[in-house]
Amino acid sequence: MNTNTSQEMPVRLSELLSRRFERIVVLSGAGMSADSGIPTFRSGSNGLWHEFNPSDLATPEAWEDDKALVWGWYEWRRGLVMAARPNPGHVAIGELQRLHGTSVITQNVDDLHERGGATGVLHLHGSLFAARCDTCGAPHVLGDPPSEIQRQVMPPRCPYCDGYIRPGVVWFGEDLDPEVLDNARERIAACDLLLIVGTSSVVYPAAGLSGYAPNGATIIEINPQPGPSLTDYQWQTTAAIGLPLLLDALNHDQGGEK
């Protein structure tokens, strides 16, 4: 494993990026948004939810047991995201897509990639902004979250079947959308550069996606605490620091704008 905590591009990494890449894919995780002030899922909650393990609130069983508690927690999280701003890493990925046609796959349920300029983002674990009915599946447009943080917030009812509106995320014990997962595999299977950013690579099936990269593809991980993934280079830095430098290196080595 190669690690480097410097805020400068490591020489070995510069060498890996010196070739021309035509099919770049970014696979991001919770660390991607940590620099925007969004707590990683494994760092736990605070405030009204300090005694709860987030994993205990993100299950179908928790939803069945106490819908108001689960909905209140997700509305709090949605409020945090709405108040946050994309960090330089998100903006750099938006520029990577604009200049190099980069595809973006994320495990995050926030919208910071989109607000950073990326389009067509594949959300493996759903989105806080894609609520739907838990009975008929109809999509539901959300208004603003409560202005005051509340632990118990009853979810709205579906106007079509009177079911409850649930968060549009994939809970523990639920399967990922097979169409989204297949699309992610296809994108990675066709890449020549895979950037794994801010993920510990321990939650499957997302953790296994790097295995679909073809032989000859360059795989680079950017994460302050690198995981066990098999990569060509593991750069021990944050997305906000590393990605703008990587963007500059790619633009320099590949002739700037296309």
Q: Annotated active-site positions, please?
A: 125
| Token couple for 159 | 């106007």
Residue 68 burial class via C-beta count within 10 angstroms: exposed 0-12, middle 13-18, buried 19 and up: middle
**Position of tokens 């709860």?**
52
Spell out the alpha helix ranges (H) of 23-87. Answer: 31-34, 54-57, 60-65, 67-83
How far apart are alpha carbons 119 and 241 in whole angstroms? 22
**Residue where the block lists tokens 């926030």:** 110
Contact 62, 108 (CB under 8 A): no
Q: Are 153 and 146 in contact (CB under 8 A)?
A: yes
How far apart, in whole angstroms, are the C-alpha atoms of residue 92 and residue 90?
A: 5
Tell me what percent of the chain is helix, strand and coil, each rounded to the nearest 5. 35, 15, 50
